[in-house]
Structure 1
């Protein structure tokens, strides 16, 4: 896979609500996360904080994780919610204690970090029973938007990778251009 990262020079494009919500709405993400309000959650590949801003009001603590400091700079300029902290890190090397997270999610970034090492690290920091939601571009899609199809996983591949890392996949939906996987640690 490509494991490329989104060009930080184009960060403003990530704030286009009509485009972003076309592929994953706030309601869909929050529904899949099934939050109670007291959780510590990580946004994996948080970019400009677009989805972090949606999730933050519904959790106790949100860690916005991105490998690019420039994305965090953009987010800081927008203004961080009080319960959001920034972590500049690769998913394969998360700065959290074992069992630190109650939930995690990745919106259109799984293809950027998915590897055995990253998923093992994610399993380490998620407590037993933690929920993981992945919404990403699908290799079964036609490539109308997002990365090239050759740099994507399909739902079945993602399910297998999550299962190999110790997650139990509760449900997966393959859609026209994307897939959604909901799993539990």
Structure 2
């Protein structure tokens, strides 16, 4: 499986609402994350902040975590909401306190960081009962968009991995090219 990162030179392509919202709408993401104005939320692989901005409108504080400083540079040029803090770090080693987040989400980035260490780190950062929403490209998709099929995970694999690392999966939906799951930290 993959674990590659998106080419930062193509960052502008991540800002196409008609393409991005065709696989995950802002409303669906808001439903999956289900945060309130008092919540601290973590975007796992925030990239250009496309989906970060949708959740920032509902959150108290939001940490936009991305491994690539170039993605944060793009986001700064675009304009970062005042309640968003950019964190340049890998998902498996976030400089956030244990139990400091009420929710976390990953939009089309799970395949880039899906290791046991990263899932354990997400669990560490979330408070007990904290919510995790994952939308990603499906391993059984056609592969016309998104990463190559060999770099993707199936919904079943993602669910199993989360359960193995202390998450209770509460919702899962398979789609033609993507999947969505919602879990809580036990």
Q: TM-score range by the shorter chain?
A: over 0.9
Q: Tell me which stretches of 4 or more aligned residues in structure 1 moved more than 6 Å.
A: none
Correspondence 1:88 to 2:98: no
Gaps of 5+ in 2: none
Give deviations 1:109-165, integer Å, cap 9, x for gaps.
000000000000110010001000000000011112000111000100000010111
Deviation at 1:41, TM superposition (A): 0.2
Q: How does 1:1-185 map to 2 (within 5 A)?
A: 1-185=1-185
SS in 2 for 1:2: coil
- In the superposition, the TM-score normalised over structure 2's length comes to 0.98
Higher mean C-alpha displacement, 7-16 vs 27-36: 27-36
Q: Distance in 2 between matches of 1:57 and 1:129?
A: 22
Q: How many residues align?
A: 185
CA distance in 1, matches of 2:164, 2:111: 16
Q: Deviations over 1:54-85 (max 9, x none)?
A: 11010100000000000000000011100000
TM-score, normalized by length of structure 1? 0.99
Separation in 2 of the partners of 1:44 and 1:35?
Answer: 15
Give SS of 2:171's match.
Answer: strand
Return the offset for 1:36.
2.3
Compute the displacement of 1:94 (Å).
0.6
What is the CA RMSD across the aligned residues, in angstroms? 0.6
Q: Secondary structure at the match of 2:105?
A: strand
